[in-house]
Amino acid sequence: MTQTADKLIIGGREFTSRLMVGTGKYASFEQTARALEMSGAEIITVAVRRVNLDRSKESLLDYIDLKKYTLLPNTAGCYTADDAVRTCRLAREAGMSDFVKLEVLGDEKTLFPDNEELLKAAKILVAEGFTVLPYCSDDVIVCKKLEDIGCAAVMPLGAPIGSGLGIRNPYNIRIILENVSVPVIVDAGVGSASDAAIAMELGCAGVLMNTAIAGAQDPIAMAEAMKLAVIAGRLSFKAGRIPRKLYANASSPLDGLIV
Amino acid sequence: MQIVLNGDKVETSDGSTVEKLLLQLGISRDRVAVELNADIVPKSDYEKQLLSDGDKIEIVHFVGGG
Protein backbone atom coordinates (compact mmCIF):
# COMPACT_ATOMS: atom_id res chain seq x y z
CA MET A 1 0.00 0.00 0.00
CA THR A 2 1.29 3.42 -0.84
CA GLN A 3 0.31 6.64 0.85
CA THR A 4 -1.02 8.06 -2.39
CA ALA A 5 -3.53 5.22 -2.75
CA ASP A 6 -4.84 5.66 0.78
CA LYS A 7 -6.82 8.88 0.63
CA LEU A 8 -8.95 10.34 3.36
CA ILE A 9 -12.27 11.54 1.98
CA ILE A 10 -14.32 14.07 3.95
CA GLY A 11 -17.32 15.87 2.53
CA GLY A 12 -16.42 14.69 -0.96
CA ARG A 13 -12.90 16.11 -0.77
CA GLU A 14 -9.74 14.01 -0.89
CA PHE A 15 -6.82 14.42 1.47
CA THR A 16 -3.49 12.62 1.61
CA SER A 17 -2.50 13.63 5.14
CA ARG A 18 -4.45 12.14 8.02
CA LEU A 19 -3.03 14.60 10.52
CA MET A 20 -5.06 17.75 11.14
CA VAL A 21 -3.54 20.49 13.23
CA GLY A 22 -4.64 23.54 15.11
CA THR A 23 -3.04 26.96 14.77
CA GLY A 24 -3.38 28.20 18.36
CA LYS A 25 -0.87 28.66 21.19
CA TYR A 26 2.29 29.07 19.08
CA ALA A 27 4.99 31.53 20.10
CA SER A 28 4.72 33.41 16.80
CA PHE A 29 3.06 33.29 13.39
CA GLU A 30 6.43 32.27 11.88
CA GLN A 31 6.55 29.30 14.22
CA THR A 32 2.94 28.41 13.36
CA ALA A 33 3.74 28.42 9.65
CA ARG A 34 6.87 26.28 10.08
CA ALA A 35 5.10 23.76 12.30
CA LEU A 36 2.24 23.46 9.79
CA GLU A 37 4.75 22.86 7.03
CA MET A 38 6.57 20.13 8.99
CA SER A 39 3.32 18.43 10.03
CA GLY A 40 2.34 17.84 6.42
CA ALA A 41 -1.23 18.67 7.42
CA GLU A 42 -3.68 19.71 4.72
CA ILE A 43 -6.53 20.62 7.05
CA ILE A 44 -5.86 23.26 9.69
CA THR A 45 -8.23 24.60 12.30
CA VAL A 46 -8.76 28.29 13.02
CA ALA A 47 -10.97 30.20 15.44
CA VAL A 48 -13.40 33.01 14.60
CA ARG A 49 -12.88 36.16 16.64
CA ARG A 50 -13.50 39.90 16.48
CA VAL A 51 -10.90 41.72 14.40
CA ASN A 52 -8.44 43.75 16.37
CA LEU A 53 -9.14 47.33 15.37
CA ASP A 54 -5.51 48.18 16.04
CA ARG A 55 -4.27 47.67 12.51
CA SER A 56 -0.61 47.41 13.47
CA LYS A 57 -1.27 43.82 14.53
CA GLU A 58 -0.62 41.19 11.90
CA SER A 59 -3.01 38.41 11.05
CA LEU A 60 -2.42 34.65 11.06
CA LEU A 61 -3.59 34.39 7.46
CA ASP A 62 -0.76 36.70 6.35
CA TYR A 63 1.56 33.78 7.15
CA ILE A 64 -0.44 30.92 5.71
CA ASP A 65 -0.61 29.87 2.07
CA LEU A 66 -4.33 29.37 1.62
CA LYS A 67 -3.74 27.38 -1.57
CA LYS A 68 -2.00 24.67 0.46
CA TYR A 69 -4.45 24.25 3.31
CA THR A 70 -8.13 23.67 3.84
CA LEU A 71 -9.28 25.92 6.66
CA LEU A 72 -11.47 24.25 9.25
CA PRO A 73 -12.99 27.06 11.35
CA ASN A 74 -14.00 25.96 14.84
CA THR A 75 -16.67 27.10 17.24
CA ALA A 76 -14.35 27.05 20.25
CA GLY A 77 -15.72 29.01 23.17
CA CYS A 78 -19.37 28.37 22.24
CA TYR A 79 -21.55 26.95 24.99
CA THR A 80 -24.91 26.99 23.18
CA ALA A 81 -26.14 25.69 19.83
CA ASP A 82 -27.20 29.22 18.86
CA ASP A 83 -23.73 30.66 19.43
CA ALA A 84 -22.11 27.79 17.54
CA VAL A 85 -24.46 28.16 14.56
CA ARG A 86 -23.89 31.93 14.49
CA THR A 87 -20.11 31.38 14.53
CA CYS A 88 -20.31 28.85 11.68
CA ARG A 89 -22.34 31.24 9.53
CA LEU A 90 -19.75 33.96 10.09
CA ALA A 91 -16.95 31.49 9.32
CA ARG A 92 -18.55 30.53 6.02
CA GLU A 93 -18.91 34.18 5.05
CA ALA A 94 -15.28 34.94 6.00
CA GLY A 95 -13.74 31.82 4.50
CA MET A 96 -16.11 30.95 1.66
CA SER A 97 -16.02 27.28 2.63
CA ASP A 98 -18.62 24.98 4.16
CA PHE A 99 -16.18 23.06 6.37
CA VAL A 100 -16.66 23.62 10.11
CA LYS A 101 -15.36 21.96 13.24
CA LEU A 102 -18.41 22.09 15.46
CA GLU A 103 -17.77 22.15 19.17
CA VAL A 104 -20.33 23.09 21.77
CA LEU A 105 -18.80 23.01 25.20
CA GLY A 106 -20.56 22.11 28.41
CA ASP A 107 -18.13 23.30 31.02
CA GLU A 108 -15.03 25.52 31.25
CA LYS A 109 -13.09 23.21 33.50
CA THR A 110 -13.40 20.01 31.48
CA LEU A 111 -14.20 21.48 28.04
CA PHE A 112 -16.27 18.34 27.51
CA PRO A 113 -18.94 18.61 24.81
CA ASP A 114 -22.56 19.42 25.62
CA ASN A 115 -24.04 16.63 23.52
CA GLU A 116 -27.59 17.96 23.62
CA GLU A 117 -26.58 21.36 22.23
CA LEU A 118 -24.11 19.72 19.84
CA LEU A 119 -26.83 17.58 18.22
CA LYS A 120 -29.13 20.59 17.99
CA ALA A 121 -26.46 22.70 16.26
CA ALA A 122 -25.42 19.84 13.96
CA LYS A 123 -28.99 19.44 12.68
CA ILE A 124 -29.28 23.14 11.81
CA LEU A 125 -25.87 23.31 10.15
CA VAL A 126 -26.31 20.17 8.05
CA ALA A 127 -29.67 21.54 6.86
CA GLU A 128 -27.88 24.77 5.87
CA GLY A 129 -25.40 22.83 3.76
CA PHE A 130 -22.37 22.89 6.03
CA THR A 131 -19.83 20.06 6.04
CA VAL A 132 -19.91 19.40 9.77
CA LEU A 133 -17.04 17.78 11.67
CA PRO A 134 -18.21 17.59 15.28
CA TYR A 135 -15.96 17.33 18.34
CA CYS A 136 -17.84 14.91 20.58
CA SER A 137 -17.64 12.53 23.49
CA ASP A 138 -16.14 9.07 22.92
CA ASP A 139 -19.69 7.74 23.04
CA VAL A 140 -20.96 5.54 20.23
CA ILE A 141 -24.58 6.58 20.73
CA VAL A 142 -23.78 10.26 20.25
CA CYS A 143 -21.53 9.42 17.29
CA LYS A 144 -24.31 7.40 15.63
CA LYS A 145 -26.76 10.26 16.14
CA LEU A 146 -24.28 12.71 14.59
CA GLU A 147 -23.82 10.36 11.64
CA ASP A 148 -27.60 10.01 11.20
CA ILE A 149 -27.97 13.80 11.20
CA GLY A 150 -25.55 13.91 8.27
CA CYS A 151 -22.22 14.96 9.76
CA ALA A 152 -19.27 14.33 7.41
CA ALA A 153 -17.18 12.75 10.18
CA VAL A 154 -17.23 12.25 13.93
CA MET A 155 -14.40 13.50 16.13
CA PRO A 156 -14.46 11.84 19.55
CA LEU A 157 -12.03 13.10 22.15
CA GLY A 158 -9.16 10.88 23.28
CA ALA A 159 -8.89 12.82 26.55
CA PRO A 160 -9.76 16.38 27.65
CA ILE A 161 -8.64 19.19 25.31
CA GLY A 162 -5.04 20.19 25.96
CA SER A 163 -4.55 17.49 28.61
CA GLY A 164 -2.02 15.36 26.74
CA LEU A 165 -3.36 12.27 28.50
CA GLY A 166 -3.52 10.23 25.30
CA ILE A 167 -6.26 7.82 24.25
CA ARG A 168 -7.87 7.16 27.64
CA ASN A 169 -10.49 4.75 26.40
CA PRO A 170 -9.33 2.88 23.31
CA TYR A 171 -12.20 0.42 23.72
CA ASN A 172 -14.76 3.20 23.30
CA ILE A 173 -12.96 4.37 20.16
CA ARG A 174 -13.03 0.78 18.84
CA ILE A 175 -16.77 0.52 19.49
CA ILE A 176 -17.31 3.80 17.61
CA LEU A 177 -15.18 2.55 14.72
CA GLU A 178 -17.24 -0.63 14.46
CA ASN A 179 -20.57 1.19 14.45
CA VAL A 180 -20.27 4.28 12.28
CA SER A 181 -19.34 4.50 8.60
CA VAL A 182 -18.21 8.13 8.43
CA PRO A 183 -14.52 8.88 9.14
CA VAL A 184 -13.65 8.73 12.86
CA ILE A 185 -11.04 11.33 13.79
CA VAL A 186 -9.62 11.49 17.30
CA ASP A 187 -9.75 15.13 18.33
CA ALA A 188 -8.11 16.24 21.57
CA GLY A 189 -6.05 14.50 24.19
CA VAL A 190 -2.96 13.50 22.21
CA GLY A 191 0.25 14.27 24.11
CA SER A 192 3.02 12.51 22.22
CA ALA A 193 3.70 10.77 18.92
CA SER A 194 2.90 7.34 20.36
CA ASP A 195 -0.61 8.57 21.27
CA ALA A 196 -1.18 9.58 17.65
CA ALA A 197 0.09 6.19 16.45
CA ILE A 198 -2.25 4.40 18.88
CA ALA A 199 -5.24 6.32 17.51
CA MET A 200 -4.28 5.36 13.97
CA GLU A 201 -3.58 1.71 14.88
CA LEU A 202 -7.09 1.49 16.30
CA GLY A 203 -8.28 2.25 12.78
CA CYS A 204 -9.14 5.92 13.07
CA ALA A 205 -9.27 7.86 9.82
CA GLY A 206 -7.21 10.70 11.27
CA VAL A 207 -6.06 12.64 14.29
CA LEU A 208 -6.56 16.31 15.10
CA MET A 209 -4.28 18.04 17.59
CA ASN A 210 -3.00 21.45 18.60
CA THR A 211 -1.45 21.66 22.07
CA ALA A 212 0.65 18.49 21.63
CA ILE A 213 2.59 20.30 18.89
CA ALA A 214 2.32 23.96 19.90
CA GLY A 215 3.11 23.24 23.54
CA ALA A 216 6.10 20.96 22.90
CA GLN A 217 9.55 22.28 23.77
CA ASP A 218 10.38 22.14 20.07
CA PRO A 219 7.09 22.49 18.18
CA ILE A 220 8.73 22.15 14.76
CA ALA A 221 10.34 18.80 15.66
CA MET A 222 7.14 17.59 17.30
CA ALA A 223 5.15 18.48 14.18
CA GLU A 224 7.40 16.16 12.18
CA ALA A 225 7.16 13.45 14.86
CA MET A 226 3.36 13.62 14.65
CA LYS A 227 3.42 13.44 10.88
CA LEU A 228 5.54 10.28 10.99
CA ALA A 229 3.51 8.76 13.85
CA VAL A 230 0.25 9.17 11.96
CA ILE A 231 1.77 7.61 8.83
CA ALA A 232 3.34 4.76 10.85
CA GLY A 233 0.14 4.12 12.79
CA ARG A 234 -1.93 4.05 9.61
CA LEU A 235 0.48 1.62 7.88
CA SER A 236 0.56 -0.57 10.98
CA PHE A 237 -3.24 -0.69 11.07
CA LYS A 238 -3.48 -1.54 7.38
CA ALA A 239 -0.71 -4.17 7.66
CA GLY A 240 -2.54 -6.03 10.42
CA ARG A 241 -0.74 -6.70 13.67
CA ILE A 242 0.07 -10.17 15.07
CA PRO A 243 -2.19 -11.61 17.76
CA ARG A 244 -0.99 -11.08 21.32
CA LYS A 245 0.31 -14.31 22.93
CA LEU A 246 1.20 -15.02 26.52
CA TYR A 247 4.29 -17.12 25.80
CA ALA A 248 7.31 -16.89 23.57
CA ASN A 249 7.40 -18.06 19.97
CA ALA A 250 10.95 -18.39 18.61
CA SER A 251 11.81 -16.43 15.48
CA SER A 252 14.85 -18.57 14.58
CA PRO A 253 14.38 -22.13 13.22
CA LEU A 254 14.91 -25.07 15.59
CA ASP A 255 16.21 -27.27 12.71
CA GLY A 256 20.01 -27.40 12.36
CA LEU A 257 20.82 -26.45 15.92
CA ILE A 258 24.34 -27.53 16.88
CA VAL A 259 23.37 -28.49 20.38
CA MET B 1 -23.78 59.18 14.41
CA GLN B 2 -22.72 56.47 16.78
CA ILE B 3 -22.53 52.73 16.14
CA VAL B 4 -21.44 49.86 18.38
CA LEU B 5 -18.48 48.21 16.67
CA ASN B 6 -17.23 44.94 18.18
CA GLY B 7 -18.72 46.00 21.50
CA ASP B 8 -17.28 49.55 21.52
CA LYS B 9 -19.07 52.80 20.74
CA VAL B 10 -17.58 54.39 17.62
CA GLU B 11 -18.38 57.64 15.79
CA THR B 12 -18.95 57.38 12.07
CA SER B 13 -20.28 59.76 9.44
CA ASP B 14 -23.91 59.82 8.35
CA GLY B 15 -24.55 57.85 5.18
CA SER B 16 -21.76 55.42 5.96
CA THR B 17 -21.93 51.91 4.52
CA VAL B 18 -20.27 48.64 5.49
CA GLU B 19 -17.83 49.19 2.61
CA LYS B 20 -16.95 52.71 3.84
CA LEU B 21 -16.55 51.50 7.42
CA LEU B 22 -14.11 48.76 6.39
CA LEU B 23 -12.17 51.29 4.31
CA GLN B 24 -12.08 53.73 7.24
CA LEU B 25 -10.74 50.93 9.48
CA GLY B 26 -8.24 49.75 6.88
CA ILE B 27 -9.65 46.22 6.91
CA SER B 28 -9.55 44.11 3.75
CA ARG B 29 -13.00 42.76 2.88
CA ASP B 30 -11.68 39.42 1.64
CA ARG B 31 -11.00 37.69 4.92
CA VAL B 32 -13.65 39.06 7.23
CA ALA B 33 -17.33 38.53 7.92
CA VAL B 34 -19.65 41.32 9.00
CA GLU B 35 -22.77 41.09 11.12
CA LEU B 36 -25.26 43.96 11.30
CA ASN B 37 -27.65 43.71 14.25
CA ALA B 38 -27.00 39.95 14.41
CA ASP B 39 -27.60 39.30 10.68
CA ILE B 40 -24.75 38.50 8.32
CA VAL B 41 -24.15 41.07 5.61
CA PRO B 42 -23.20 39.25 2.37
CA LYS B 43 -20.03 40.64 0.79
CA SER B 44 -22.04 41.60 -2.30
CA ASP B 45 -24.09 43.99 -0.14
CA TYR B 46 -21.21 45.86 1.51
CA GLU B 47 -21.46 48.87 -0.82
CA LYS B 48 -25.20 49.37 -0.54
CA GLN B 49 -25.69 48.41 3.12
CA LEU B 50 -26.24 51.72 4.92
CA LEU B 51 -25.48 52.08 8.61
CA SER B 52 -27.85 53.78 11.04
CA ASP B 53 -27.36 55.39 14.42
CA GLY B 54 -27.20 52.72 17.14
CA ASP B 55 -26.43 49.82 14.78
CA LYS B 56 -24.51 46.95 16.30
CA ILE B 57 -21.73 45.79 13.99
CA GLU B 58 -19.48 42.79 14.45
CA ILE B 59 -16.45 42.31 12.23
CA VAL B 60 -14.74 38.93 12.67
CA HIS B 61 -11.84 37.11 11.10
CA PHE B 62 -9.81 33.94 11.61
CA VAL B 63 -7.24 33.67 14.38
CA GLY B 64 -5.12 30.78 15.64
CA GLY B 65 -7.17 28.08 17.29
CA GLY B 66 -7.47 24.36 17.81
Task: Give residue A152's identity as a one-letter amino acid code.
Answer: A
Q: Has residue A224 got a pLDDT over 60?
A: yes
pLDDT for A4 equals 53
Q: Which tens digit of pLDDT belongs to each residue from A100-154?
A: 999 999 999 999 999 999 999 999 999 999 999 999 999 999 999 999 999 999 9
Q: Has residue A168 got a pLDDT over 70?
A: yes
Q: What percentage of chain A exceeds 90 in pLDDT?
A: 92
Q: What is the mean pLDDT of chain B?
A: 94
CATH of B2-61 among 3.50.50.60, 3.10.20.30, 3.30.2130.10, 3.40.470.10: 3.10.20.30
DSSP readout, A124-160? HHHHTT-EEEEEE-S-HHHHHHHHHHT-S-BEE-SSS
Flag whether residue B29 sits within 8 Å of chain A, measured between CB atoms: no
Give the span between the Cα atoms of A19 and A39, in whole angstroms: 7
Q: What is the mean pLDDT of chain A?
A: 95
Position A54 confidence tier, pLDDT thresholds 50, 70, 90: confident
Inter-chain residue contact B63 with A46, CB threshold 8 Å: yes
Contact A22, A44 (CB under 8 A): yes
Q: Has residue A18 got a pLDDT over 80?
A: yes
ipTM of the complex: 0.93
Out of B8, B25, B32, whose CB is closest to A94?
Answer: B32
pLDDT for B30 equals 87
The whole-number average pLDDT for the span B29-42 is 94
Q: Has residue A58 got a pLDDT over 80?
A: no
Out of A24, A51, A55, whose CB is closest to B60?
Answer: A51
- Residue A111 is classified by DSSP as -
Q: Name the residue ranges covered by the structural domains of chain B.
A: 2-61
Give the span between the Cα atoms of A43 and A95, in whole angstroms: 14
pLDDT for A57 equals 67
Please indicate whether residue A101 is annotated as part of the active site.
Answer: yes
**Chain A environment of B61 (Cβ under 8 Å):** 48-49, 51, 59, 61, 94
Q: Which tens digit of pLDDT belongs to each residue from A213-222?
A: 999 999 999 9
Q: What percentage of chain A exceeds 70 in pLDDT?
A: 97
